[in-house]
Amino acid sequence: MNRMTSETSDVSGTLSYEVLVVDGQPIPGRPAPDGSPAMWSPTSATLICGERRAVLIDGLTTKEHADALVDWVDRRGLELQTIYVTHGHGDHFFGLNPLVARHPEVQVVALPEVVDHMRQQTSPEIYESLWRPLFGDQIPEEIVTASPLEGDRIDLEGHSLIVHRAGHTDRSDTTFVHVPDLALVVAGDIVYNGVFPFTVETDRASRDEWRKALDDVAACKPARVVAGHKSPTADDDPRHIAETRKFLDDFDAALDSGASAEEMFESLVATHGDRINRTALAAGVFVHAKKRDKQAALAAQD
Ligand SMILES: [Zn+2]
């Protein structure tokens, strides 16, 4: 059984939030250069709680997570009004179906472009080549789809949850949710807290877009920032915005230095070694060092 961590925030008036974090879990795959075994990163779900109703942001991955999610939401005894999905990576919504079955009235929403990505993730092409090899039959058989969110706001008993488009961060078309009445940002995969950011689906331009997205999160002046992937023991301090940027800067500097993938791995472990999931780091450095070297070889031919 994964360890689950749930924290309650300070209550602000009639609004509060809780975060459920599930531990990272072993997955099939090559170990990192230092022998660290392949794993999936710890992942979070956030419940914004009003007096009678609640909104869930993101929904974890496996059947085991799904059961925990149902119990966790049940415990608050609130009517689940809306589920919002921040971006189209399956690990943030594959675990939702049992919760939706339990709350048949709930609206599952995402921005239209994210709805498209969610459909793609469950298409046989992507599901069978990416997700099934990683999680086997651990993912619930039925996977929910979302309806397009109209506008950029979710109302919870008069409190606004404001959706911001953040462009390409750890994938294209990511978003975050700002809850001004809680001085809270639920950041999806824009902020990584104590976990190595997933860079495989990025490039130079999109890593700049990622930095801009971090600026946009910071511009909300949040007192708390919940990362989609966070260490179960970490706080939700906004310093994790700057720490994510520091990682991206150090990653690009290591890439620019011409270091080999192994050397990049070593230097980033030396500076960011407290982060969880070194296989996520390894995947990124190997993909991008190889791409860099290939481009250099092509340029040398010209
Ligand atoms: Zn993710």
pLDDT in tens, 235-251: 999 999 999 999 999 99
For residue 66, what is the domain's CATH number?
Answer: 3.60.15.10
Domain count, the chain: 1
How far apart (Å, rounded) are the C-alpha atoms in residues 271 and 273? 6
Query: In the predicted model, is pLDDT for residue 5 greater than 70?
Result: no
Query: 90 C-alpha to center of ligand 1: Å?
Result: 8
- 267 CA to middle of ligand 1, Å? 24
- Going from the Cα of 43 to the center of ligand 1, the distance in angstroms, rounded, reads 7
C-alpha distance from residue 159 to each of 53, 55, 196, 222 (Å): 11, 11, 33, 16
Q: Tell me the CA–centroid distance for residue 71 and ligand 1, in Å.
A: 22
pLDDT of 302 higher than 90? no
pLDDT tens-digit readout, 164-195 = 999 999 999 999 999 999 999 999 999 999 99
**How far does residue 12's CA lie from ligand 1's centre (Å)?**
28
**pLDDT tier at 28 (50, 70, 90 boundaries)?**
very high
Interacting residues of 158 by C-beta distance below 8 A, sequence separation 6+: none
pLDDT of 6 strictly over 80:
no
Residues of the chain with pLDDT > 70: what percent? 96
Distance in angstroms (rounded) separating the CA atoms of residues 278 and 252: 17
d(CA 30, CA 24): 16
* Closest CA relative to residue 83, chosen from 75, 93, 74, 72: 93
H helix and E strand count, the chain:
9, 16
Q: Is the dihedral of CA 113, 118, 120, 121 positive or negative?
A: positive
Distance 169 CA to ligand 1 centre (A): 11
**Taking the CB of residue 298, how many other CB atoms lie within 10 A of it?**
9
**pLDDT(8) > 60:** no
Q: Residue 262: which H helix or E strand, with range?
A: helix 261-272
Task: Tell me, in angstroms, the distance from the centre of ligand 1 to residue 221's CA.
Answer: 23
When pLDDT is averaged across residues 18-24 and rounded to a whole number, the result is: 95
| Predicted local confidence at residue 2, as pLDDT | 45
- 149: pLDDT strictly greater than 70: yes
Q: How far apart are the first and last CA of the chain?
A: 55
Indicate the Cα dihedral angle 262, 268, 274, 277, nearest 10°. -50
Separation of 186 CA from ligand 1 center, angstroms? 13
Closest CA to 126 of 81, 173, 69, 88: 88
Q: How far is the CA of 89 from the centre of ligand 1 (A)?
A: 6
Instruction: Measure 92 CA to ligand 1 centroid, in angstroms.
Output: 6
Dist. CA 93 → ligand 1 center (Å)? 10
Q: What are phi and psi of 154, to 5 degrees?
A: -120, 130
Q: How far is the CA of 161 from the centre of ligand 1 (A)?
A: 21
SS3 219: helix
Distance 87 CA to ligand 1 centre (A): 8
Average per-residue pLDDT for the chain: 94
Q: Is the pLDDT of residue 4 over 70?
A: no
Instruction: Output the CA 62–ligand 1 centroid distance in Å.
Output: 13
CA of 33 to the centre of ligand 1 (A): 23
DSSP 127: I
CA of 118 to the centre of ligand 1 (A): 13
- Residue 14's pLDDT is 85
CA of 91 to the centre of ligand 1 (A): 6
Is residue 134 over pLDDT 70?
yes
Matching residue, tokens 């990025």 = 202
User: How close is the Cα of 94 to the center of ligand 1, in Å?
Assistant: 11
CA distances from 105 to 82, 88, 286 (A): 9, 23, 45
Give distance in angstroms: CA of 299 to centre of ligand 1. Answer: 34
Whether the pLDDT of residue 1 is over 50: the answer is no
Question: What does the pLDDT look like over 68-109, one tens digit per residue?
Answer: 999 999 999 999 999 999 999 999 999 999 999 999 999 999
**What is the span of the domain harbouring residue 261?**
4-301
